[in-house]
Amino acid sequence: MRYPLTRVLLKMVVVGFYRVHTGLILTLFLFFFINFFYTSVLNQTHLTKDQIILNALKLVLTSVSDPVGMLLLFVIWLLYTLKSSKYVASQLKLAPYQFLFYSSNALARSKQLQTWFIVQLIISIPIITLGLFAVTIGVAFDHYLISFLIPFYLVALIFSNALYFTHLVNNLANEDQKTTVPQFIRHWPKPFFSLFLYEIIDSRKLTFGVTKFISGLIISLIYVLFLDLQSDIRIPELLIISVILTHMVLIYQANEFDLTYLRFARNFPYSPSRLYCQFIQFFLLLLVPEFVWVFLVYDPITSTTILLLGLSTALLFRTLLYRLAPGMSNYLRLIFCLFLVLSLAILFGGLWVLIVSNLICSFFLLYFHRFKSLDS
């Protein structure tokens, strides 16, 4: 009890363990004591009370001195220890216990190990009680091997659990940092604009996969249905804004990611033009498959025009989020309305008007948001 950490762990871990496992402990005790002291012996009616107790003690001695009985007892103690280690490990992974990583690590490993040994020792009081009972019977009837093996085995169990808990607490942060990002990608450079791309690789693969599947489906359908109209430049223009529309969920999530995890970036000395260039880099990488397909199918001039239209539309979709109230529904309604307007403008030949207006609107939305965020 010398360390405050010990007292904290006793209150949080040990009390919680006994509160949850009271039924198990009572069952364990009842099983042993009923088995040893209330098992009737044939024709015991002629025995006195002291002789019945002596028989019960001999039954205990026979059980623990027999290899099978000893093995059964050791297995039960091992299961109890594993049960307690499973409970403590599950508690340590909960958010209220995360402070242990930052507080207990201030102590030396030996002191942490000592603390966890005390915790596990108190958790193991039920099996220690049974062990002491068996040792006492062994000593009383001159079975010293039992008296040696049982304490050694119990100390080994308690020490191994203390060692495990110490290791677990010192690696809580590493457990949180587990990621599904492939090893070779982790060593790639991570410029600021690419952070959400790594987030996609790590935890948004399903959203990304569905988006790309729908995007590929739209490209295939439009390309096949309007095969006879491939010379009409409006077809790839409608196609690219449809592709951008399929990415609106990812665009929305990118904004949420910035608001949640990159709030500190508001203090970075980035000018609006630099942030705008970072958005362009992000969308160029996000839309690589679609842009590659466009350049493979159409001539360079048409492909560049389509790329500019898609890029400017994506930038507009992204920066519009700065002017909207939080919530996906508002964003979806606005984007669908805007998509209809853009489609009509394309059908009436307003390609360059759209590209220029999209770029101007998106830049000024970012510009005003940047200064607003600096003032707040």
Residues 249, 207 contacting (CB under 8 angstroms): yes
Q: Counting beta carbons within 10 angstroms of the beta carbon of residue 372, is it exposed (0 to 12), middle (13 to 18) or buried (19 or more)?
A: exposed
Q: How far is CA 240 from the centre of its chain?
A: 36
Q: pLDDT digit string (tens) for 259-280? A: 877 776 777 777 888 889 999 9
Q: What's residue 356's pLDDT?
A: 93
Q: What is the mean pLDDT of residues 161-175?
A: 76
The residue-averaged pLDDT of 282-291 equals 91
Question: Cα(87)–Cα(131) distance, rounded to whole angstroms?
Answer: 22
Tokens of 310: 């898609």
Distance of CA 179 to the CA centre of its chain: 8
The tens digit of pLDDT for each residue in 306-356 reads 999 999 999 999 999 888 777 777 888 888 888 889 988 988 888 899 999
pLDDT given at position 316:
92
pTM over 0.75: no
> What are the φ and ψ backbone dihedral angles of 179, each rounded to 5 degrees?
-140, 160
Q: Give the type of residue at 164.
A: Y
Sole residue written with tokens 């280690």? 85
Q: Is the pLDDT of residue 106 over 70?
A: no
